[in-house]
Structure 1
Amino acid sequence: MIEQKQSLDQLPKEIKAAFMELNILKHLNGAGFKKKFGFTCAYLFRIIFTLLFHQKNWFRLLESVKQESFPGKDAVYRFLNHGGYAWRRFLLSLSSDTVQRVERLTSERRETAFIFDDSMFERNRSKAVEMLARFRDHATGAYYKGFRMLTMGWSDGHSFIPMDFALLSSLNSGINGMTEGMDKRTHGYKRRQEALCSCQKKIKSKTRKNKVLD
């Protein structure tokens, strides 16, 4: 008999307590991460999360001695590329719960704020990445291939908790387009449409309307 372990044994000891304290698996279920057959979403998420602490990618892990105890790469890629999973809902649910836990440990007089950051996400060696685009780094003036990453986080002056992020592409300088045949009702399609949305055009249109009304 082959036993499929669904416990937290693959997590490092230092991370296992935090994993259970923050109820990460509960937030996954609340965001609709479910599968009808095969390895569960919770099991696949724990393995991918652990790779960050082993400093290995999935390809190197499958070449190791313990490759037979891990699921195939197709199962992992299907999980990561599934357009029906609400990753944004999961992150917002987890981060908001974490913020409430942190606020109990600090004074009510401490000022809190939301921080927005627009930075580069370089993929200069990539060629076939979906929605890959070409951008200009305004700090150095050089061009790079990749995305613009817009990040929103909560901070109390000492702690920083990421709340949401978006990888932004470009219609004008795009290298690769969107994957064809994607269901337009899924979360993945909406995130891709968001990546191509030009916020500057929206701001300009709103200012023009306000001038007309004035």
Structure 2
Amino acid sequence: PKIARSVEKFFKDYKVMELLRRCGLRKSEGIPLWSILSYIFSNVFPDRSMYMQQKYGKCTAGFSKNTYYRFMQNPHTNWLRFTILLAERIVNGHLKDLTSDQRADCFVFDDSPYSRTGYKKTELVAKVFDHVSMTYKKGFRMMTMGWTDGSSFVPIASSLLSSKNDQNVIGTTKKIDKRTIAAKRRIMAQSKGTDV
């Protein structure tokens, strides 16, 4: 309940529902978006998935797993745009006022390996080069962009990168309507990191 109240306050303070509507999230009937989103955001803190909660009879969601998965797999929601807009609101609306004008702030880019052990059914998983161990690993490269003022760090955007070379892609691929956001993300996943 305390976590849910904090999530609710965060949603109101940063007008999260307005941002999501700007990013293509629509729901005309059934369970309200507010309920699904607050459950998903609150779920991050106890570190329990919906599956594990249902398995042990501790699921507090007022909706079925089908509703949850349909929401998470909606190919029309632009989650990348959402994280960018939300980070902009947090930085400009809250953190900039706490930072001295003399302190330099900057963008940080990180390209870390994200290994995937159960990769056979994971879409676009590839053999990617890990510059730390100097070996190829099965998984993705996680390209992350963030903002920092030296004290605070706010993640702005992230993208899982596969391989541009089809011979290195070992995961499955799906045919998706090229006009959707989901298809554009798949194209981005197979682009060069510097382009992304």
TM-score by length of 1: 0.81
Residue 46 of structure 2 corresponds to 54
The partner residue of 1:172 within 167, 170, 176 is 167
Name 2:32's counterpart in structure 1: 40
Q: How many residues align?
A: 192
Give the Cα separation in 1 of the matches to 2:62 and 2:115.
30
Amino acid in structure 2 at the alignment position of 1:197: S
Q: Counterparts of 2:66 and 2:101 in 1: how far apart (Å)?
A: 48
Question: What is the aligned partner in structure 1 of residue 106 from structure 2?
Answer: 113
Pair 1:188-2:178 in alignment: no
1:80 pairs with 2:72: yes
RMSD: 2.1
Indicate the percent of aligned positions where both proteins have the same amino acid: 32
Rounded Cα–Cα distance in structure 1 between residues aligned with 2:131 and 2:58: 45
Query: Aligned residue for 1:63?
Result: 55
One of 11, 15, 26 as aligned partner of 1:23: 15
Distance 1:86 1:113 in 2: 25
Deviation at 1:183, TM superposition (A): 1.6
- What's the TM-score, normalizing by structure 2? 0.87
After superposition, the Cα gap between the structure-2 partners of 1:145 and 1:60, relative to the gap in structure 1 and judged at 3 Å, is same
Quickly say closer, same or farther: Cα 1:41–1:12, change in 2 above 3 A. closer
Once the two structures are superposed, what CA deviation does each residue of 1:69-120 show, in whole Å capped at 9, x if it has no partner? 5322222122111111011111111111111121012212211101000001
Which whole-Å CA distance do the structure 2 matches of 1:40 and 1:146 have between them?
35
- Three-state SS of the structure 2 residue aligned to 1:27 is helix
Larger Rg: 1 or 2? 1
Verify: 1:162 aligned to 2:152, yes or no: no
Q: 1:209 is matched with which residue?
A: none
Q: 1:59 to 1:176 in 2, by over 3 A?
A: same
Instruction: Report the alpha carbon displacement of residue 157 of structure 1 after superposing the two structures with TM.
Output: 0.8
Is 1:147 the counterpart of 2:134? The answer is: no
Q: How does 1:87-126 map to 2 (within 5 A)?
A: 87-100=79-92, 101-126=94-119
**Cα deviation, residue 159, structure 1:** 0.6
Tell me, what secondary structure is at the counterpart of 2:44?
A: helix
1:166 and 1:43 mapped to 2: Cα distance?
27
Gaps of 5+ in 1: 1-8, 203-214
Are the counterparts in 2 of residues 119 and 149 from structure 1 also a CA contact under 8 Å? yes
Gaps of 5+ in 2: none
Q: Residues 11 and 46 of structure 1 are in contact (CA less than 8 Å); yes or no, is this contact kept in structure 2? A: no
